[in-house]
Amino acid sequence: MEGRSHPALVGIDGFRAVLLRSGADPSADGLDWTQLKEEVIDQLNQANIKLVAGTTDGVSNTPELRVYINLLKLTDSRQYVFRIQTSVARPVCLKAQEDPIFKADLWMLNPVFEVVSAEDTPDRITDVVLGQIKVFIIAYKTTHIRSHPDSGMSSSAISQSQTGTEARSPAVVYGYVASNGSDVFHKPQCRWAKNISPENLITYQTREQAVQAGKRPCKWCDP
């Protein structure tokens, strides 16, 4: 399924992105959930994936891009066991039931299970989550092309989206960098800065310029 078109992704114009956490919370060991969610949103925005707000009254008709993150802390060994799995859930109607509409996971990546040290947990969870989001983007765009052959996006564009992350990197001659789709700025060497695509890259010579532009400092690299 990874990177391939799928019928469950046909006809979707927008998503609500959610992180569904359970189990231990590694915040005390350096994992910033807010930062992680922002990076997921930023990656989707850079791929031109439409994001919409969900409703609070009952089941929204908006499909959900779900990232399940389950954690268990091994206290004696200072390690975490985590399971991460990304899916797309869409409303399903059961006409024979009194309350017939609910959301079901109709597209799903294989889960990733790992045991990592507490100090490596923030980095590893971030890498796995963003890696699965990247696979979703490729699958969604591939599905869109096959269901809309006149959309103007070629297969070469999909190939570029697969390899673009490895090829791009903000130039270190700039003092600070940010993405056009995010309100956070970084040091050029920051791990988050490496996810910024060239077309969305904004550069600043000084920290003051970034702040004046309405950007706030990254909690990871502390520019």
For range 61-76, the mean pLDDT:
91
pTM: 0.66
Domain edges within the chain: 7-167, 169-223
124 in Cβ contact with 114 (< 8 Å): yes
pLDDT digits (tens, 9 = 90+) for 171-196: 334 678 888 778 888 888 787 777 77
Q: Which CATH class is domain 169-223?
A: alpha beta
pLDDT digits (tens, 9 = 90+) for 132-157: 998 899 889 888 776 555 544 444 44
